Amino acid sequence: MKKILTASAVTLCLLSACKDKKTMDNPFFSAWNTPYEIPDFGRIKPEHYMPAFEEGMRRQKAEIDSIVNNPEEPCFANTIEAYEYSGALLEQVSGVFFNLSECENSPEMEAIAEEVTPKLSAHADDIALDAALFRRVKTVYDSYFRADGTCDSAGLDAEQLRLLEETYKSFVRGGANVPASQQERFRQLNSQIASLTLRFAQNVLKATNDYRLVLDADQLDGLTSDQIAVAREVANADETTKDQYVVTLHMPSWEPFMMNSRRRDLREQAWTAYTSRCAGGRYDNTRIIDTLVNLRLERANILGYPTHADYIHADCIARTPDAVYRCLNQIWTPALQKAKAECAEYQKMLSADDPGAKLQPWDWRYYSERLRRQRYSLDDDEVRPYFSLDGVREGAFMVAHKLYGLTFRENQNLPSYNSEARSYEVLDSGRVIGVLYMDFFPRASKRSGAWMTEFRGQHVDRDGNNIIPVIQIVCNFTKPAGGKPSLLSFDESETLFHEFGHALHGLLSRCRYGSLAGTNVPRDFVELPSQIMENWCRNPQVMRDYAHHYQTGESIPDSLIAKIAAAQTYGQGFINTELLAASLLDMDYHTLSAPQRIDPLVFEKTALDRIGLIPEIVSRYKSPYFQHIFTTGYDAGYYSYTWTAILDADAFQAFQESGDLYNPALARKFRTILESGNTRDLMQLYRDFRGHDPDVKPLLRNRGLL
Ligand SMILES: [Zn+2]
């Protein structure tokens, strides 16, 4: 709060606003008198958000105005740093609202989100395209970074230079440098792209919801009793299918059906329905793809990049499309080889069932699942007793303690947004460095999935105070039931370690500027801290330390560890091939360098034929429903999953090679990566840790592709 009072214009408004009783009651307008200034959850009510958002935007606007109208020459402090510190209230209310709308949702929260989202995006646009503000940013930038690429760092330390560079870059990438004659077109492109991506998503949703495979009792051959019960429930929700069974195109319904149904004809129907979504017809997305890809190219060209991928990668660790192709191609060949071997095995099984039949894409999951059960029957009920939620959580804490010396002190007296969430003070050498909420079980107000977020990120405020992070992990794990504690599947255990890894990235952050701190790193780096933790989760030695039977306390037997390990490399030919096919397809669309008419179905076939994809496998997502790249921000970025997987496997390999999974010297170096946020060159940080560039071999080995 203090920092906002330094701007006189803002102070006045704040004082006059205080006359309003309503405003005085709004917890966002006063300091939080809570431990560690944790958000005052108990006092925050839905009606407080909108006024706080409005006031937050107004204050930031005033702060920007005072930067722009500053009569002094632009300098780092009065422009770059002042801009960095602006919008504190807005950040505070956003940090609470958007996190709670994911895990404490309600119609009221949804209505607020709908009202505020367009306002926030207009507010962000106003800043991004504020010509006067950009002129000042550019003046400062040009005084340090010369046109010949050299840099005069006089007076600024490395983190300040990084902030200057990143701030300038974000304005340029947002279009601030676009010549006046093209500004109008640039804005048009942005808004057209935004509305097309929205329509794309709506079409996929509608096409997915539109299809139902209605089955009678004699068509359920092979389905599990759980599956049948769910199919029955879905059918009964609709009068027209009452007492029948319905399979939908949503993953939890479709995929198990493809894995278990013995009816080849029905599998073909379900597969065809799934893979032909939005490829023509009522919810056609093919025309949208054609337009979208061309508009993205045009926008990249206006920004000075030859392709959309060049534009995207310039802000990633990968840097160039070439580097991305190289990365993907390294895995493509061994993955395809493995997939062909898998294909031959399934063909043999099919031939035994149905002599003369040729394996088709709708047979793949079915035979893969059958063979998996034969070979690696991993009985869930055998695994779960060793992975009690408390045990796995303690295991994650143990790893963080051994690596970084952290301890986690539960304190349920900290303010909380829901009594189900467990609250921890995180200590390093006796000093609290952050607060962690762990919110594990599903409830109606929580969206599905698992994620980590920050109510407040670590940073140093304008007065030099280190502000500790307030981090949240949200999951949807199996609840305690039937007198048993929560017992996790192995997947869920990995998820816990994964999200905990993100949390460590936020907790260990030691940066000055919030926009560079913690998890604010490029998309193709952000999963390294999380994915590397999964390696400890599945390491036999570590597992023996944390996976104890919840009743007997006995350590997990080696035979079960071996089964878990074997199950992990099973089916990797298919998994990697369909993932890489999709990643390469994404790259092919976004490395087009000349506008052209695109028929996505033809384009996709050509692209996949070129890399030799076998007809029994299709891209994980076919173009017309490839939402990652046409709606959710993974355009020219679907490779990130593979890229970071290479990094995490290679990074963990360093610990293994050292013979000590908690090697102190390596842990210290990896901690530097976690502490540094985006304040330094991340690839250089990685090399400092590893001693060389990331090597693909550990990943290939882990996935059984070597
Ligand atoms: Zn993640």
Q: Roughly what angle, to the nearest 10 degrees, separates helices 107-128 and 88-103?
A: 140
The pLDDT tens digits for 226-253 are: 889 989 999 999 999 999 999 999 988 8
151 vs 52, higher pLDDT? 52
Tokens of 305: 């990049």
Helices (H), 354-446: 361-376, 380-383, 389-404
Ligand 1 centre and the CA of 498: distance in Å? Answer: 6
Q: What is the DSSP letter of 282?
A: T
**Interior/surface letters 432-466, b for 16+ CB within 10 angstroms, e for the rest:** ebbbbbbbbbeeeebeeebbbbbbbbbbeeeeeee
Separation of 648 CA from ligand 1 center, angstroms?
Answer: 12
CA angle 464, 469, 470 (to 5 degrees): 140
Residue 242: CB atoms within 10 Å: 10
Q: Tell me the sheet residues that pair with 472.
A: 437, 453
Of the candidates 499, 527, 578, 616, the residue annotated as catalytic is 499
For the segment 508-533, the average pLDDT, to the nearest whole number, is 97
Encode pLDDT of 484-517 as tens digits. Answer: 999 999 999 999 999 999 999 999 999 999 999 9
Residue 195 has pLDDT above 90, yes or no: no
Q: How far is the CA of 33 from the centre of ligand 1 (A)?
A: 33
Cα dihedral 463, 466, 472, 473 sign: positive
Provide mean pLDDT across the span 121-146.
93
**pLDDT above 70: residue 12:** no
Sequence letter at residue 260:
N
| 303-356 pLDDT, tens digit each | 999 999 999 999 999 999 999 999 999 999 999 999 999 999 999 999 999 999
Percent of the chain with pLDDT over 90: 84
649 neighbors 702 (Cβ within 8 angstroms): yes
**How many angstroms from the chain centroid is the CA of residue 638?**
11
Q: Predicted confidence band at 22 (pLDDT cuts at 50, 70, 90)?
A: low
**Residue 391 Cα to ligand 1 middle (Å):** 21
Average pLDDT, the chain: 93
pLDDT over 70 (residue 19): no
pLDDT: is 6 or 191 the higher one? 191
Q: Which of 64, 69, 47, 79 is nearest to 10 (CA)?
A: 64
Among 58-67, 171-180, 466-475, whose mean pLDDT is lowest?
Answer: 171-180
The length of the chain is 706
Grade residue 260 by pLDDT with cuts at 50, 70 and 90.
Answer: very high
Q: What whole-number distance in Å separates Cα of residue 448 and Cα of residue 444? A: 10
pLDDT at 10 over 90: no
Whether the per-residue pLDDT at 18 is higher than 60: the answer is no
User: Who has greater pLDDT, 114 or 299?
Assistant: 299
How far is ligand 1, taken at its centre, from the CA of residue 519, in Å?
10
Confidence of residue 153 (pLDDT cuts 50, 70, 90): confident
**What is the spatial distance between Cα 661 and Cα 666, in angstroms, rounded to a whole number?**
9
Q: Please count the CA atoms within 13 angstroms of the CA of 351 that sit on its side-chain side.
A: 8
Taking residue 595's Cβ as centre, other Cβ atoms within 10 Å add up to 12
pLDDT digits over 70-91, tens only? 999 999 999 999 999 999 999 9
Distance CA 644, CA 529 (A): 9
Q: How far away, in angstroms, is 500 Cα from ligand 1 center?
A: 9
Q: How far is the CA of 543 from the centre of ligand 1 (A)?
A: 21
DSSP string, 465-479: PEEPPEEEEE--PPP
The mean pLDDT value for 287-308 works out to 97
Q: Tell how far the Cα of 647 is from the centroid of ligand 1, in angstroms.
A: 14
Confidence of residue 23 (pLDDT cuts 50, 70, 90): low
pLDDT at position 252? 81
Q: Average pLDDT in the 547-571 region?
A: 94
Is residue 78 a contact partner of residue 67, using CB atoms and an 8 Å limit?
yes
- pLDDT, one tens digit per residue, over 393-419 is 999 999 999 999 999 999 999 999 999
Quick one: pLDDT at residue 292?
97
Give the Å distance between the CA of 651 and the centre of ligand 1.
16
pLDDT band at 444 (very low <50, low <70, confident <90, very high): confident
Which residues make Cβ contacts (< 8 Å) with residue 43, sequence separation at least 6? 27
Measured in angstroms, how far is the CA atom of residue 527 from the centroid of ligand 1? 5
Task: Specify the pairing of strand 451-456 against strand 470-474.
Answer: antiparallel
- Give the max Cα distance, the chain: 85
Per-residue pLDDT of 661-695, as tens digits, reads 999 999 999 999 999 999 999 999 999 999 999 99
CA distance 57 to 438: 31
Q: Where are the alpha helices (DSSP H) in 528-663?
A: 528-538, 540-546, 558-569, 572-590, 600-610, 627-630, 640-658
Residue type, 407: T
User: Predicted confidence band at 15 (pLDDT cuts at 50, 70, 90)?
Assistant: very low
Q: Is 91 assigned a catalytic role?
A: no
Q: Is the pLDDT of residue 377 over 90?
A: no
pLDDT at residue number 21: 56
In order of their start, the domains of the chain are 2-177 (1.10.1370.40), 212-275 (no CATH), 286-377+572-702 (1.10.1370.10), 383-523 (3.40.390.10)
d(CA 436, CA 455): 10
Lookup: tokens for 560: 């079960």
Q: Is the pLDDT of residue 214 over 80?
A: yes
Span from the CA of 474 to the centroid of ligand 1 (angstroms): 12
Buried/exposed code over 546-568 (b: 16+ C-beta within 10 A; e: otherwise)? bbbebeeeeebeeebbebbeebb
Q: Is the pLDDT of residue 453 over 90?
A: yes
Single out the residue of 640, 649, 642 nearest to residue 701, CA to CA: 649
SS3 per residue for 11-29:
HHHHHHHCCCHHHHHCHHH
Is pLDDT above 90 for 152? Answer: no
Q: Could you report the predicted ipTM of this complex, rounded to two decimals? A: 1.00
